Every structure is written in structure tokens, then in C-alpha cells.
Structure 1
Amino acid sequence: MSGQENADSRKSWACCAVYSSKATLILAPEGRESARVAESSGCLGKILCSLTASSHEAPGVPMTVKSDVDPDLIGESRLKTIPGTDPALFGTAMLEGPARVEVRSYQTFKITYVTGKLGLDDTGAIRIALRLISDAGALQTTDPTAPNYVSVRSSGEGQLMLKYDRNGGQRPWNETLTIYQRGGYLKPGETIEITLGDTSQGSPGLLMSTFYEGARVFRVLADVQATGNFIPLPDTRLEFTVEAGPLHRYLGVLPTRRRPGESFVMGLKAEDLWGNPTAQGPTRFAVESSVPVAGLPAEIDFAPDNGALRIEGLSVAEEGVLTLTLTSTEGHVVEAGPLQIREGQAHYWGDLHGQTGETVGTNSIEHYFDFARNKSFLDVTSHQANDFQIKPAFWDKLNRLTAELNEPGVFTVLPGYEWSGNTAVGGDHNVFFRDEGARIYRCSHALVDEHDDLDSDAHTLTDLYAKLHDEPVDTVMYAHVGGRYANIFFDHDPKLEAAVEVHSAWGSFEWVLTDGFPLRRRVGVVANSDGHKGRPGASYPGASFFGAYGGLTCFLMQENTRDSVFEAIRRRHTYGTSGPRLAIDITAALPGGGTLFHRNPLAQPDCATEEVTSCIMGDIVRVTGNTARVSVAVEAPVGIESIELRRASDVVTLWRGYGEEDLGSRLRLMWSGAEYRGRGRNTRWQGRVQVADGRIRRFSPVNLLNPEQPLRQVGSNSAIFDTITTGNRMGCDMWLSGTGATLDVTTNHGTLSLNPADMGVEPVTLDAGGLARKLVGQRLPDGPLPRSATFEAEVDIGEAGDTPVWLCVNLEDGNQAWTSPIYLFRD
């Protein structure tokens, strides 16, 4: 982009971002100024404004981003053999029901199918298909009193037979309801009525999904000649919108590190129970700050038409730690921060991995980028669609959008895609390009019917590496664990593959890093969402097969530009979290000094080097000494349960901010792990906690991500749970009364008996097999844990190979963070 184009882009963003352009100023006490802050609207830069009907409105006026998806951009299998080209042959369908519904509400819809010129033959059928990515209620046809009941009736002869299959169709239209005609036929003009969520016999209706959908589509197909060839009805688009629910909480967001005088953004969002930004939370906040903040209003009149706002142009002049406290007129208290103000590299937060309705996800690419910038307040993002589903038209559109929306210094957007080869030939890998215009090298054209570029396919990871080395556009890659996990044993190119993704909405996967240590894989740590619901940076799992909240990556950089992002990835100056934003520092002092390599010398021995006496996360250093003195500092928005300083896979120092003298009546139970490394890794934890000789006087779930999963106290001395982990961890805290209280924890993976009076700070662990499945009981202080931590420790450096030194931070709310390792080695 030219300088003028960048300026124009910044102007177009301003129509949805800052309080100054639409501020209604009111007089505040003691002469201070208050502002009504404009909500973050759908206006998403010049190209997105052009997609709205109101693109010439004045700056600050809310606009709406198009959320439904152009069907011509969706990669899918398309029939080449059809009975004829006349649309009247196959019939028509219409939808009756509400146009807009609320998440997790019960609704009723009626689809009326009218046969076409060919009628519907005996053993023929019609089919209703819905998108795979949904956690709406599963249709059922057997119990008219239960949720999601479906009924059908016909105006013609014969009987109708129904078959529902959650995964019976072709991606992305996997969920299918098929209505078969039996014992007769239908003549042209006769009808079949399908009532989804039929309430006539006691069913509450059809349960809606947990997340916003700009267009929830019923796709109707017909097999009118009983050949098994289902033809989508032409010119038929039956759809409705799923909107956010009532206010559940307010969320304030700050970055974690900026330099004195440097501009930053505060984000404020109203969320419903399922994490959707909701307009159902207007209020006024009084604002208090721990240090003076230039540009910060004393009051914010928050009326979020789109659920969120950005306050831009804030800065702090002096070094220190900023926390903000926002108190609403209704008594809600929102904390934002901590934000460290200090010299050195700043922190920029990103989620570089998600997809939308143009492939297997939900909502449009425009909605996705708007959410990243204006509703989760990211600094860096990218879109990563499965390559075998990316049509050429969508690849072109994606490149146009990333070029237009990239905003150096404010919002970095990278073009890219997910190479989605099978695990046997490499597994999922994220590909990011420094600039637009790169060629896409798919693992296959599985759902792309344009075959002009079949010769560009890279069927194996080795093939992909070879093609990317010839690609003129600069490229970096991540190894990803999703449906097809990355097979780091198949191949590895250190010039391209700079990081591994240890957390996403699929769960937590430390093994994708630690498996590489014996192989001397010198990669950084990142975390992303791989969200499929159009919510990068705030990807809640809902009630679907995603078992975790999406992750975030912190990039340590001097400025927020594409060049800096690429350099941070290649230098491994990154750390990942399971969602929260916290500041982490790990530094190794080297008594004998060392040589720091700017690239991996195993792949690029002639890379730039420098002589150092200390190094930070991600650095590769050849040392002369036998030990390193490691310094650790963590500043978190919640309490810190523990910090593990690791040497490769071993914990060499475990920090806790409390001792045995601090322990109280709080007992924490946490369960974690997965079944195995593949797609069906979710572990179900079912069980009961029974307290004897005491009672539970207070109970609090920890990291319960699905509100519909039972995890609650029952009576005064027991609790029950039926939950899911997928490598991540969750559990509960119980404050017990009775000095002799004991607990028996019975689960489907084993039992654990605990006597808190005999327990110190060390946890009691039940290993439960699977992939790092375990149940842990430990005592904690009664009050909140400290939010800051600093310590030092000495780490021995191995005589041969690498000594990876890194951190795992465990937070009081169940979240975790992982740093890129420092790779120390001796010749």
C-alpha cells in the first residue's frame, strides 16, 4: 500500500472505532470531561463500507457488515449429472417461521415442498441439509414431547419415512434430514410439509445454536426419480438469523505492554452467556485508572448496537503498570489490564487461525475480520481455510481483503490458508504469506470443482515445502493440531516451519512441541482458535465438538507490521495462551556468554549472529558454560496457581505464590487430558464428589466452558460433574467446613480419596491413562492467589544436543500459557 492508501484505510476504520468522531460530550463532576463512545460497528474499511447500503454515512454512524455468505464462493461437491436444466423439474420450497431468533431459544419452522413437473416417484426423497458447524439441537422423529421433534405430512398418496443423520451429507452440509416417499407417488403440484420443532404434542420446539449466525440456511434437495441423486433446488434460499442473547457480563481488554507515550486501544464488550457480543447491555461506566492516561474519558456511555467499542488514542507518559476499573450505574465492576508501560519490545496479540462460511465455518469473511479488529480487539490476524475447499474466486477475494484491511501500526492482516493434508503425509499446517498474490498449493481439489490448476497441488508436506521454496512471496508456517494433526515425524523444513500451535479450540497439545525436542526441532510456541464460528480472538466452544476456548499468541515486536510479525515468528519471540492476555518474561543469563543465531543454524549456518551474555524466549544460543541463570516474571489478570520452569519435558523449578502456612479450607479438583491425538480426542469426565465428616460451604466451577454441562454442588456434601476435556483442564474449587472432612471422588476413569488435613502444597494425582489424562486434588489458600510472580533458578545445560528452557504458567481460572523455548546448546 502507498502512504496515501494507508491514510485512507485509517480514515475508513475511524467510522466505527473512536469516540471522538461521534462523541456526545456531557459535563462531568469537577469539570472533567465525559464521552459517549461510538460502538464498534460493522464498517470495516473501504472495501467493507462499499458492501453496505449506507457506505456514505458520516464517520461514527453504525453500519452493518454482510454476514451471510455468497453461495458461489463456497467450496463443495457439485453434481455434474442432473435430470435436466429446467428448474421447474425439481419443485420448490418455502419457509415459514421467525426471521430472527435468539441463541439457545426454542423455535418452530415449517418447510413446504411443492413437487415440480416430474412429481416425486415411489422411493424418491427430499432432503434438508444444514451446515456441519452448529450446536443447535439434533433433530429427532420419535418423541413428540421432547425437544427438536420433527413431523411431516403429505397431500398425496403413500407414506413418508424420515431419516436423520448428524453427518449424513457432504461437507459443509453434513447434517441431513431425508424424507422418503414410500408406497405411492406424488403428482406435480402436491406437497410435503416438514415441521421442525413441532410443538403440537408437547415438544418445546427446535433448540437454536449458541452462537451468532447471520444466515442459518436450510438447504433443500430433491431426488425426484429415486436414483439417489439429490439435486439442490434452484433459486431456493431458506434462512433465518440467530442473534445474541441477554447480557451475561462486560469485558474490558487492554494490551499487556506498551512503551511510554505510545498509543494503545482499550476495548469494551458486552457478552451473552455464550460469548456473543450483545446489544442487550447499555449502561454508563465511571472510569478509574491506576496511573494517568491521556485521552481516557472519565465516563463512558456504553450503548452497544454491535456489542463492543474501541477507545483509541490512549497513552501513558511514564513507566508503570496500568489497570482500569469501570463501574456501571447498575454496580457491574469491570477490570482491564494489567498493561505494563516500559521501554523495550511491545506486546501485540493475535489469533491467526480461523475460517468462515465460505468453507466449513459460519458467517462471512467480512464479518470475521470485523470481529477480529472491533470485537476481540486483536492486533494481528489471518484467515486459514482448509485448502481443499478454497475456490479460486474465494482465494482472490481473500487476497483483496487482506491487502485492503492491513493497517500498518494498528492492525496487521496476513494472507494465507491451511494446508490440510492427511496426517499420514504431514497433517495440518498453517501457511502465511508476507504479501498478496501468492499461489495456493492445495493438498487436493477435494471440494474445488475448478481444475485448471490441478498441477499446482502439493499432495504431501514434502511437496508443499518444495513448492513454497520456489514461491516468490515470503512464507512462514505453523504445525497445527486439529482434525488432522500435524505429523512432525513425517518431515520438517526449519526454513519454513517456525512454530507449533500448542492450543486451539481443539484443545491443548504440549506434545506437538515436546515430541520435537529429541529431533532438535527448534520451533516457537503459538496458540490460536481455529475457530469456525467467525469469532477470531474470542472463540467460545459453545455446545459443539470443540472442547476448549480458542487461544491467543503474543508477539514481541517493536512495531505492528507484517515485517515485524514475520521476524517475531522466525525468531520465535512468541508465547501462546489458552485465551487470557498476560505478560510473561523469561531471560537466561549466560555466565560464559554465547553466540545468538538470528535463524536456525542447523538450516541456515551462514545466518546473522551476535555475541550475548543473556537471551530471551525463542533465542537459539551456542554457549560455553554449563549453566544458565533463568529469570522469570509474570503479570496476569487473575491469580497465578503455579509456574513450571521446564528443561525440555522436565520441570526443574515449580513456583507457587504460597506455602503450607497459607493453606486454607479450599480444595481444588482438576481433571484434564484427552483420549488420543486424533480427531476424536475428547475425554468425557463423569463423576461425583462425596464429602464425609464435613460439608461444602462454597462451590465454584473452574474453567467450565459449556454452561449446559453439569458441574455443580448437590446438597451440602456432594457435587456432580459430566464434562469434556480435550487436552485442556477444568474442575472446581470447594471451601470445606469441618476439620476432619474427607472426600471420595468417583469418576468413569478411576477414584481418588483425599484427606485435606494430611495434604500440604503438593497435589495428589490420579493418572487415568489416555493421553495425559489425570485427576488432581490440591489445597489452596482461601483467598485469591497473587497476580504477579518473579523468581530465578539455575538450569544445567546438556553436553550434547539442545537444552530447551521454557515456561508453562497455570492460572487460577484454569487457563494456561506456554512460552517459546530458549534453545541452548554446546558444541
Structure 2
Amino acid sequence: MSQPILTTTIEPASDVVAGSIGTWTLRFQAGEEGLPGNSTIRVGTDTDTDWGVPQFDDPGAAEYATVTAPGGVDVAARTVGVKGFQLEIGPSGLPGGGEISVVLGDTSGGGPGSRAQTFREQRRVFSVTIDHGQGVESIEESPELRIVGGEPVRLIVVVPSELPVGEPFRVLVKAEDAWGNASDGYRGTVRLNGDGVALENDTLSFTESDGGAGWIDGATGEQPGVVRLTASDEDAGLQGTSNPACVVEHVGEQRLFWADPHGGQLVDREKFAGFFEHARDVAGIQFAGFQRNADVLDEADLVTQQDVELQFHQPGRFIAIPGYEWSGKTWDGGHHNVYFRRHHQPIHRNAPAETPESVDESTELHHVRDLYDHYRGTDTIITPHVGGEHSDLKHHDPTLEPGVEIVSSHGAFEWMRRDALAHGYRLGFLGGSDSYTGRPGDDRPGHQQRRYSKAGLTGIYCEEVSLESFFEAMRARRFFATTGARIVAKADIQGHGIGSQFSTRDNPVIEVDVVGTAALESVELFRDEELLDRWDNAPAGNPNRVRVLWQGSSRQTSYSGIVWDGTIRVHGGRIADTGTLRFDSPRSHLVETTESLVRFHAWGCGYRMGVELDIEGDESTRVEVSVATQAITGPAYGGFGSSQPRRISLAPAERATLVGRLGELAETTRTIDLGVRDRQLDLGLAPVHGDCEAHCTFRDEQPRAGINPYWVRVVQVDQEMAWTSPIWVDWMARSDD
């Protein structure tokens, strides 16, 4: 048996807690024949890892890496993107048995070490390849680590959003760490309680096999109403409250389920099953799609994916939605998700963008128009979105496309919604993950530069948990998007629910029902882009709590976030307490807090985020906010700027200042429009936390002749949001109008 050309190991090889700081040594030992001069060793990985990127110039800083080689062997090192590095051996080569070591997070110069990735992973592979002048060779026994969830900081409780009185249901409890992972090492005992719910068993003791997430069976709603369950572990000081469950006497033809149609993708086919296990058993959703970019799928990947999709076809409990992502460039129509109502369907990919070979070159579809032509008239659904390349909505096929994704881990894209409405398309609004971490249904951005938001979700009204019912509901546009919170949202006009279209001569009366996961701030009714009316029970401002909000994106395309650096100064008063809103990315943090100022650094894209301050002062107390922004872009540096590699870049953008006194802010919120892509800064009073439910009746007294799309936007005080798909009303003016 021939000796391997290179042997690689990592120390320590023990489990790594997600997001922890440490030091790891990778060793590369040449085989008996050694490595010739000018050989290159490359180390990468198969996920969108946010492990700290090595640096070689500052021993006192984080991520300092050192390279050691035998005497007489010169080795150069450089990073490769943000996911790996390579070693370039000098002309003398590496003798047989010679060893090169790389210390990641070397602390000998005073640095703190290296930060591990923030998402858990059963097999975090340090994939090693060697180019020794005879082609590139993969090292089969590449080092691996197991990344586990850290200590829990909260309990997440998931219950069905709608159910009839007396129907048994299961309760999911997740012990969650600071990064959104299930806490693998949690062994506590959780107790449930909640008014209006009968519990056959109110206790769950976690074991190793639970992996930080477990189910309690046998709960039932005792009477109609909205119920919430509370979970607590008093010994560990943990607690959590469930999403609202709406218990009714009789459920209609459809009930609300939760989906992540664009759950994202993974590269290593051995991890595909774990993707769906997470969606079902950790996120507790009913539908999830694995949307692998078609231009990087090979035959073995595709076979594995489709086999796993069938394996997780579990009607009544969970459905893996068969499909893939057609990943054309924006000028070819942009990225689109493709879903099949049948399993093991052949895929038709775009022209290769990242790999040189196609699954089947003869079946490539080079433009989104070709995609439409091929699938028109089949059991297929297609949805546009903003991902690696945003969809160009000047292209649309109403027979195939029922919805558009407007929120994901990339951010919130109100401009995508506006674009769809401006074109007059009948597209509902979807939310999803679109991530590479294997956590569909509840993903977090971690320290990735290309992700700024936690995952969105789609609420979908289906007859049952089945693939057929999912397709029927999608085609009926009976769904709505959220920023990840399981907000219950319904709208109805003359018996027609969200996604419907009908004709009438009567003035539309819109009934809206919302049940939030937190106190509601606003419920707004829109006709197209016109704000028609709003919930009349919106909370008043808290006179002693000031809120600074900011929002917006850099451009109408992918990787379009904004970095906000700001200072809040208080004159003639004292800051007693400070809190943050939607600081989803760990890059977002409070830099400094004193009794007179707060400095913040925040990364976001599209959604509202901010800071709240308890201020001890009077009407004359002056609050001054100043910000400097940077626009996030994702330019390509290959060829003439049109191909890989792509790097996230920051460009200086708007600067602004805003001032208000507490007495003035009690009357109105001060706003400054920064002029581009919804970018704005608000200074006002934080709303009092009040009702979590809103039941509204709106009437359009002046409908327009023709098609009127009515939709609702919900905002909670924690800045979680929901957008209902429109109801399209074809209003026919009376002859005497």
C-alpha cells in the first residue's frame, strides 16, 4: 500500500464550543518521498464559515497565525478568501517526514487567540489539497472538528400557531446559546406552564440524545383564545415564552403552518440529512426547501439531495420541498428557486458560473426566459429573490411565479416588494433563510460579512402538512412573510383571504387580525404603496424612554447592507439604562455607554434597528444623535469585474445629525431622510409595551377603478415585522359613481 503524499492533523481535536476563543495547530507532514519545491498546500472548508480569518502581521491582535518549517525550508503563506489559507513551499521542497505547522490563534505575542465559527457542525472539515506539480490532489484524511452549541442563555418554546380546542399537540423546547444554536451540553430539567392549556406532562429532562432540543407530547388547548406556554429551568436561571397559539372552536379549511422555502444549502452531501433534521427537530417548522445552486451541483450531490428529500417526506409532520436554485447572473434574470411537486425530477441549470462542468450541458437553460419556457405547464413553482445575484423583476411568468422573497438572512428588501407591485404583478410575499450554515428555520448571521440578519420565515395557510397542500397554498398565494417571528396575521375582504383576487362594486372593507409574539407597535393597511389606514390603538410613547431607529440598504441588489457608526449624547439629563433593537449580527454592538452618551456600531440591511435609552431629565433635556454610514457592496474582482472572486467592501456614505428635546419628542418623532434606498434616522419616544393583539376593520372610501392590491405591514415594538400577501380587488365603479 502506497504511503500518502501528505498527512495532516489538528490539535487539539476535542469538541469546540461555537464562537469560543482558542488556539489550534495544523500539522502537515510529507510522505517518504517528500514534496518538491514550489508545491502548494491549500486549506479550505465546505461551509460559509465565520471562523476568524488568519492574519500574519500583528502578534498582539486576534487571529494571529504563525508558520513553522524545518531548517532550510522556506514557506510563504496567504489567506484564500475568508474561508481558508494556503502554504507555498520554497524551491528546496519539504523532505520526506518533514513537517510544517500552522498555529491558528497564536497567543505568544499577547494576542487573544482565534475565534471559532459561531454555528454548530458535526464535521467541520479543514479540507486539504496539495499541488505538487502533477495536478491538484485532495487529502482524504483531512482534519475535522466537531463544533457544539455553547452554554444556554435562553429557552425557545415553539407551539402550533392554530389548533382546535381539545386537539393534542407537541411542544418543542430548545435550550439556545448566544449564537442561536441548540446547546448540546444542556442537561437541565424544564417545566412548562400556561393558562388555558392542559399538559399530560409538564416536565422535560434533557439528555445527550436531545442535543439541546426536545419535545413534550400531550398538550391540549382547553378553550378558545390565545395561549402562550412558559418554560423555565430555575436551577439554571433560564426561561422562555412560546409563540402565540390561537385556539379556536373549529379550524377552517386551512390552518397556519410555518415554512422556510429557501432554507439555503450545504456543500458536503453527508450533511444534507442534518439540514432537514434541524428544520424539523430544532426549528420546529413544517416545510423546508434545500436550494442548492444548480451550477455547483454534481450528479452525486443531486442523487443524494433527492434521496434525502424523499426520506424527509413525512406527511402530517414535515415536508422537504423538492427543488433547486437556478442561479443565473442578474443580467440573465438572476437567482430563482425552483420547486417540484414530484420527487427525483431532473434539474436544468444555468450556465456554469463557479464550476467548469455542467450536470448535463445539453439541458442548460441560459436565461430566465428559457427557465420559464421549459417549466411552463408543469407541476413546478418558481420564486425570485435577492441572494448571490438578485432577480430582475422585469422578467416574470404569472403561471409559474406566485411569490417573491422579501426577507432572508441577507436582510429585508422592501424595494423588491415595491418593484413587484409597481409592475402590477400578483406576487405574494415570502420569507426564508438562504444560508450555508445548515440551520433552516432559525438561522443567524454570525460574523459572516455577507449576512446581516437572522432568517425570515413564511407563514402559510394549508389544509394539511403535505406536498400537495403546500403547492395548492403557494399557487393561491395564501402566505405571508415575517422577519422570523411567528406572528399570526390574517386579512379578509368580503370572505376573500390573503392572496385572493376577486371583483366587486362595493367599497372594500378589510378585516385584519394580528397576534404578535411581542407587543405591537403598528398595523398598517396599504393599497399598492399608499398608506390607507392604521391600527387606532397603537401605543403611546414612554416619556422617559427615548428610541433612536435607523434603517435602509445601500442599493437595490445583493450584499447591500449599511454600517452605522453613531453617537447619542444627552444634555441636561442622565442615561439610566440602555437597550438594543435588532442587533442581529454580532458585529453590531454598543461601543461605549456612560451617563451622558452612547456610541454604537451596527451592521444591517433594510430592516429597522436601534437603541433605546431610559433618560432621567425634564422637557428641556436635549438628545443629539450623529451618524456616519458606510455602504456595503460586493464587487467582483475576476476578469473585468464580472466574475469571481467577490469581496465584501465598504464605501463611505452619508453622515447626519439629528436633535430633539424630550418635550418636543412627546409630540412628534424627528426624522431625517438620508436620501437613498429608504435610509433614514428617527429620534422619538419608545412606545409603551401594550397589546399583543389587533383586530381592525378598515374601509376604503375611495377605491380606484381596476385592480387594487391591499396588504398589511405589522411592526412589533421589538422591530420584528410581517407583511401579508396582497388581496387583489378588481373594483368596478357603479354607473352612478
Give the TM-score normalised by the residue count of structure 2: 0.90
Shift in alpha-carbon separation, 1:182–1:395, aligned structure 2, 3 A: closer
Shift in alpha-carbon separation, 1:681–1:451, aligned structure 2, 3 A: closer
Aligned length: 699
- Counterpart of 1:745 in structure 2 is 625
- Counterpart of 1:455 in structure 2 is 362
Task: Give the alignment of 1:75-154 within 5 angstroms.
Answer: 90-116=5-31, 119-131=34-46, 133-154=48-69
Q: Does 1:564 align with 2:469?
A: yes
Native 8 Å contact 1:443 1:458 kept in 2: yes
Native 8 Å contact 1:445 1:451 kept in 2: yes
1:430 shift after superposition: 1.0
Task: Give the alignment of 1:255-334 within 5 angstroms.
Answer: 255-293=160-198, 295-303=199-207, 305-330=210-235, 331-334=237-240
Native 8 Å contact 1:350 1:380 kept in 2: yes
Q: What amino acid is the match of 1:221?
A: T
Choose which of 617, 620, 624 in structure 1 pairs with 2:501.
620
- Cα distance in 2, alignment partners of residues 428 and 669 from structure 1: 35
Moved more, 395-404 or 733-742: 395-404
- Cα distance in 1, alignment partners of residues 192 and 707 from structure 2: 49
Choose which of 512, 523, 537 in structure 2 pairs with 1:643.
523
1:119 shift after superposition: 4.4
Shift in alpha-carbon separation, 1:555–1:422, aligned structure 2, 3 A: same
1:284 shift after superposition: 3.0
- Cα distance in 2, alignment partners of residues 333 and 233 from structure 1: 47
Native 8 Å contact 1:215 1:363 kept in 2: no
- Cα distance in 1, alignment partners of residues 324 and 213 from structure 2: 28
- Counterpart of 1:198 in structure 2 is 106
- Counterpart of 2:492 in structure 1 is 587
- Cα distance in 1, alignment partners of residues 612 and 579 from structure 2: 5
**Partner SS for 1:772:** coil
- Cα distance in 2, alignment partners of residues 769 and 303 from structure 1: 54
Q: Does 1:178 align with 2:93?
A: no
Q: What amino acid is the match of 2:330?
A: T
Structure in which a larger fraction of residues adopt strand: 2
- Counterpart of 2:375 in structure 1 is 468
Q: What amino acid is the match of 2:74?
A: Q
Choose which of 404, 408, 420 in structure 2 pairs with 1:516.
420
Q: Does 1:550 align with 2:430?
A: no
Choose which of 260, 271, 275 in structure 2 pairs with 1:351.
260
- Cα distance in 2, alignment partners of residues 198 and 136 from structure 1: 15
Task: Give the alignment of 1:775-790 within 5 angstroms.
Answer: 775-781=681-687, 783-790=688-695
1:713 shift after superposition: 5.7
1:719 shift after superposition: 0.7
Choose which of 600, 607, 612 in structure 2 pairs with 1:721.
600
1:534 shift after superposition: 0.7
1:123 shift after superposition: 4.2
1:103 shift after superposition: 1.5
**Partner SS for 1:94:** strand
- Counterpart of 2:127 in structure 1 is 219
Native 8 Å contact 1:668 1:777 kept in 2: yes
- Counterpart of 1:666 in structure 2 is 545
Provide structure 1 residue ranges, at least 5 long, that are not aligned to the other structure: 1-85, 168-174, 590-613
Native 8 Å contact 2:47 2:437 kept in 1: no
Choose which of 144, 152, 155 in structure 1 pairs with 2:70.
155
Choose which of 735, 755, 758 in structure 1 pairs with 2:664.
758
Moved more, 501-510 or 409-418: 409-418
**Partner SS for 2:221:** coil
- Cα distance in 1, alignment partners of residues 175 and 562 from structure 2: 32
- Counterpart of 2:713 in structure 1 is 808
1:683 shift after superposition: 0.5
- Cα distance in 2, alignment partners of residues 157 and 742 from structure 1: 67
Native 8 Å contact 1:642 1:655 kept in 2: yes
- Counterpart of 2:577 in structure 1 is 698
Shift in alpha-carbon separation, 1:795–1:712, aligned structure 2, 3 A: farther
Shift in alpha-carbon separation, 1:233–1:435, aligned structure 2, 3 A: closer
1:89 shift after superposition: 8.4
- Cα distance in 2, alignment partners of residues 396 and 378 from structure 1: 25
- Counterpart of 2:399 in structure 1 is 495
- Cα distance in 2, alignment partners of residues 727 and 230 from structure 1: 45
1:708 shift after superposition: 4.9
Q: What amino acid is the match of 2:261?
A: L
**Partner SS for 2:230:** strand
Shift in alpha-carbon separation, 1:323–1:279, aligned structure 2, 3 A: same
Report % sequence identity: 28
1:270 shift after superposition: 0.1
- Cα distance in 2, alignment partners of residues 820 and 181 from structure 1: 58
- Counterpart of 1:389 in structure 2 is 296
Alpha-carbon deviations, 1:700-742, whole Å to 9, x = none?
A: 1111223453226611121111111111121111121111211
Shift in alpha-carbon separation, 1:785–1:732, aligned structure 2, 3 A: farther
- Cα distance in 2, alignment partners of residues 270 and 246 from structure 1: 9
- Cα distance in 2, alignment partners of residues 761 and 556 from structure 1: 40
- Cα distance in 2, alignment partners of residues 774 and 719 from structure 1: 19
- Cα distance in 1, alignment partners of residues 490 and 358 from structure 2: 49
1:439 shift after superposition: 1.3
- Counterpart of 2:283 in structure 1 is 376
Provide structure 2 residue ranges, at least 5 long, that are not aligned to the other structure: 629-654, 733-737
1:231 shift after superposition: 1.6
Choose which of 339, 349, 367 in structure 1 pairs with 2:274.
367
Q: What amino acid is the match of 2:402?
A: A
- Cα distance in 2, alignment partners of residues 449 and 263 from structure 1: 52
Native 8 Å contact 2:263 2:288 kept in 1: no
Q: What amino acid is the match of 1:308?
A: A
Choose which of 670, 673, 677 in structure 2 pairs with 1:767.
673
- Cα distance in 1, alignment partners of residues 446 and 536 from structure 2: 32
Alpha-carbon deviations, 1:109-162, whole Å to 9, x = none?
A: 223323357644544432222346111111001112222111112214253222
Q: What amino acid is the match of 1:759?
A: L
Native 8 Å contact 1:363 1:533 kept in 2: no
Give the TM-score normalised by the residue count of structure 1: 0.80
Q: Does 1:415 align with 2:322?
A: yes
